[in-house]
Amino acid sequence: MAYDNNNVFAKILRGEIPCNKVYEDDHTLAFHDIAPQAPVHVLVIPKGAYLSMDDFTARAGDAEIAALFRAVSTVAKMVGVSEDGWRLLSNIGANGGQEVPHLHVHIFGGKRLGRMVP
Ligand code: 5GP
């Protein structure tokens, strides 16, 4: 599957639609999910055009990969979930339930989360 430049996160990255930004650096953007599934629900995305984690680790440079994971921890601290615990999730492809075809990781927190069962 080819990367679709018209996906909603590509539009957010181009500034064509707004987002509630939490954090940004050279490689990464984080913003609140539009339909939060927990008291804290933030999405962290690479600025590069990557479909999924598999695509990202295959094509991205080490600096981009490191930046994404460092940003995740930075954002968790910024939104106040670090101390009590939180969940990191990335849906990948059709079976994984990925709706937006631009790599994103979800940060969930702010309450005791239920156990995740497929
Ligand atoms: P997925 O199911 O692909 O892992 O998650 C996509 C996430 O993107 C969903 O949680 C959905 O609520 C969120 N989302 C979809 N469109 C927008 C949008 O325009 N802005 C924001 N902030 N989040 C969005």
Residue spans of the domains in the chain: they are 8-107
| Ligand 1 atom at minimum distance from 101 CA | 3
| Tens of pLDDT, residues 2-35 | 999 999 999 999 999 999 999 999 999 999 999 9
Cα 13 to chain center, whole Å?
A: 12
pLDDT at 116: 79
To the question of domain 8-107 being in CATH 3.30.428.10, the answer is yes
pLDDT at 14: 98
pLDDT at 118: 74
Model pTM greater than 0.95? yes
Cα 69 to chain center, whole Å?
A: 10
pLDDT at 117: 73
The answer, yes or no, to whether any atom of ligand 1 lies below 6 A from the CB of 8, is yes
| Ligand 1 atom at minimum distance from 100 CA | 3
Q: Are 59 and 53 in contact (CB under 8 A)?
A: no
Q: Which of 49, 58, 63 is nearest to 102 (CA)?
A: 49
Give strand ranges (E) for 1-118: 21-24, 28-32, 40-46, 86-89, 105-109
Collect the ranges in the chain with pLDDT lower than 50: none
Our separate counts of H helices and E strands in the chain read: 4, 5
The answer, yes or no, to whether any atom of ligand 1 lies below 6 A from the CB of 94, is no
pLDDT at 103: 98
